[in-house]
């Protein structure tokens, strides 16, 4: 009996160590991968003279996202696409949604806990907070208008007019989406914003 308990204890310790290493990989190992990919994406933006909207390619950078509320150094290159491989690189633009500055809904999804967790703190955004999106032709300023938690099946938040599928869009809006709560995919945290200004980039 004593030997059995000792063996069980040793196995429990081993399992705990393996679990701790796996958690460390999820939090830091995946983050290191995303940081490398972000450097590559930012170089793509520079090579394109900004974020290209004329020839957007899945898996490549299409804009630069800045959110001052989340820190002076908060900046992520947004990749075109939302497949698992795309989102490992950083926040991803839904290909079927509007482009930055366009009338309609510019939708970006991002991880909340792994792969650098770019949207980990978007729950801290408040009404009126600025969201900057830098593209090839201009820098667009959106302001947060609302935040909500929805079921994963609530795809109407991705509609051109969020929450009102089928209605034609009359203004340019932005929607940020991520999992909720942390370490779970049971729900979705949604942040909405509206375009308030456009600043053309210098040639």
Write out pLDDT tens, residues 88-103: 999 999 999 999 999 9
Q: Which of 31-40, 52-61, 172-181, 190-199 has the lowest mean pLDDT?
A: 52-61
pLDDT tier at 57, thresholds 50, 70, 90:
very high
Does the pLDDT at position 46 exceed 90? no
Asked if 74 and 68 touch (Cβ cutoff 8 Å), the reply is yes
Per-residue pLDDT tens over the stretch 177-201: 999 999 999 999 999 999 999 999 8
Does the pLDDT at position 22 exceed 70? no
Query: Per DSSP, what are the bridge partners of residue 140?
Result: 133, 198
Helix (H) or strand (E) holding 77: strand 75-80
How far is it, in rounded angstroms, from Cα 131 to Cα 183? 25
8-state DSSP, 103:
S
Domains of the chain: residue spans and CATH? 2-200 (2.40.260.10)
């Amino acid at each position: 009996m004593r030997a059995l308990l000792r063996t069980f204890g040793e196995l429990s310790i081993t399992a705990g160590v393996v679990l701790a290493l796996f958690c460390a990989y999820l939090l830091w190992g995946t983050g290191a991968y995303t940081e490398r990919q972000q450097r590559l994406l930012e170089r793509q933006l520079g090579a394109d003279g900004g974020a290209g909207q004329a020839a957007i390619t899945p898996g490549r950078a299409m804009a630069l996202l800045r959110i001052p509320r989340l820190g002076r150094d908060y900046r992520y290159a947004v990749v075109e696409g939302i497949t698992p491989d795309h989102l490992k690189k950083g926040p991803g633009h839904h290909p079927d949604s509007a482009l930055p500055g366009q009338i309609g809904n510019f939708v970006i999804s991002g991880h909340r806990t792994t792969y650098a967790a770019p949207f980990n703190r978007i729950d801290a955004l408040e009404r009126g907070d600025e969201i900057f999106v830098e593209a090839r032709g201009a820098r667009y300023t959106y302001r947060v208008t609302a935040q909500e938690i929805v079921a994963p099946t609530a795809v109407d938040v991705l509609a051109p007019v969020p929450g009102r599928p089928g209605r034609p869009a009359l203004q340019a809006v932005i929607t940020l989406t991520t999992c909720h709560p942390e370490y779970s995919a049971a729900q979705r945290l949604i942040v909405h914003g509206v375009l308030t200004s456009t600043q053309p980039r210098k040639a």
